[in-house]
């Protein structure tokens, strides 16, 4: 009986520690989620800004404000920055939560052959 009592005490102590620590673990997870949501919002804003800059640059080129050489150089740089932002977004946002994505439509049932 002397061996069972310490084992029971250790099990009870482990359960108490687990229950007491549960709220602390959930708060940390919530803070991580909020931090990720803020980072995602920042990255989406940066992505939209890069898209606007690319469109404005294209307009400047078409209106003659930039030479083709200047436009190509700046366009390449902006697109590279936009790709970096998109890669970061891909790492943070699961595919099913991405903007502009829709789930695959359900497969149509095969038509029965009336022969």
Residue 25 burial (CB count, 10 A): 10
Question: From its phi and psi, is residue 64 left (phi > 0), alpha (psi between -120 and 50) or beta?
Answer: left
Distance of CA 59 to the CA centre of its chain: 31
Tell me the whole-structure pTM to 2 decimals.
0.55
Q: What is the pLDDT of residue 37?
A: 84
74 and 57 Cβ atoms separated by less than 8 Å: yes
Task: Give the residue ranges of DSSP H helices in 63-111.
Answer: 68-92
Share of the chain above pLDDT 90, in %: 40
53 and 98 Cβ atoms separated by less than 8 Å: no
65, 70, 73, 78: CA torsion to nearest 10: -20
pLDDT, tens only, 40-92? 889 999 999 999 999 999 999 999 999 999 999 999 999 999 999 999 988 88
| Confidence class for position 113, pLDDT limits 50, 70, 90 | very low
Residue 2 DSSP class = T
């Amino acid at each position: 009986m002397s061996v069972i009592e310490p084992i029971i005490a250790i099990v009870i102590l482990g359960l108490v520690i687990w229950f007491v620590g549960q709220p602390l673990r959930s708060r940390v997870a919530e803070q991580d989620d909020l931090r990720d949501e803020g980072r995602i919002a920042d990255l989406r804003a940066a992505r939209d800004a890069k898209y606007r800059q690319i469109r404005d640059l294209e307009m400047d080129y078409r209106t003659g404000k930039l030479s083709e050489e200047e436009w190509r150089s700046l366009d390449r740089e902006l697109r590279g920055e936009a790709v970096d932002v998109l890669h970061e977004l891909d790492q943070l946002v699961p595919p099913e939560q991405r903007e502009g994505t829709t789930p695959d439509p359900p497969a149509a049932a095969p038509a029965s052959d009336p022969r």
